Amino acid sequence: MANNAVETLVGTVVLCVAGGFLYYASQTADFGGGSTYPLTANFFKADGVGTGGEVRVSGVKVGTVSEVSLDETTYQAKLTMVLREGVRLPSDSSAKIASDGLLGGSYVAIEPGGSEYFLEPGEEIEYTQGSVSLLDLIGKAVAGTD
């Protein structure tokens, strides 16, 4: 009889831990839906950013990358992002590919501009800066070239 009580207690603890993980996942992932709108941006180099990557404004996650494709006329990486409906960006905002430290992943960092006009759903962020490769920088430093 004591063995059944221990098994029941262990089972309850496992279920509570699993419930905690599910709660954490639902809070950190965008399961809840909510209203979003798309924006696009073209980059010469988009290393490390993929579908599902974060889009941040001032370090705060405001959206995700929904699609990465190649613009076949300009040969630039075209990123389609979905942002939360309440986040309105000035039309002269800029986007760059940034990384979380030396070994961290890449994300899209948006710096809001000062325009009084805002980007509408489906519009393009015109001012962009692609990713910077650490290996390219080290190679340039070693070779002494610009």
Q: pLDDT digits over 24-51, tens only?
A: 766 666 555 578 899 999 999 888 888 9
Average pLDDT across the chain, whole number:
85
Residue 117's pLDDT band (cuts 50, 70, 90): very high
Give CA–CA dist 113/91, Å, rounded.
Answer: 7
Determine how many CB atoms are found less than 10 A away from the CB of residue 62: 19
HSE (CB half, 13 Å, CA atoms) of 82? 11
Evaluate if pTM is beyond 0.85: no
Helices (H) and strands (E) in the chain, counts: 2, 8
Q: What is the pLDDT of residues 98-111, one digit of tens each?
A: 888 766 788 999 99
Residue 78 has pLDDT above 80, yes or no: yes
Overall size of the chain counted in residues: 146
Average pLDDT rounded to a whole number, residues 111-128:
93
Average pLDDT rounded to a whole number, residues 70-85:
93
Q: Structural domain boundaries of the chain?
A: 1-32, 36-140
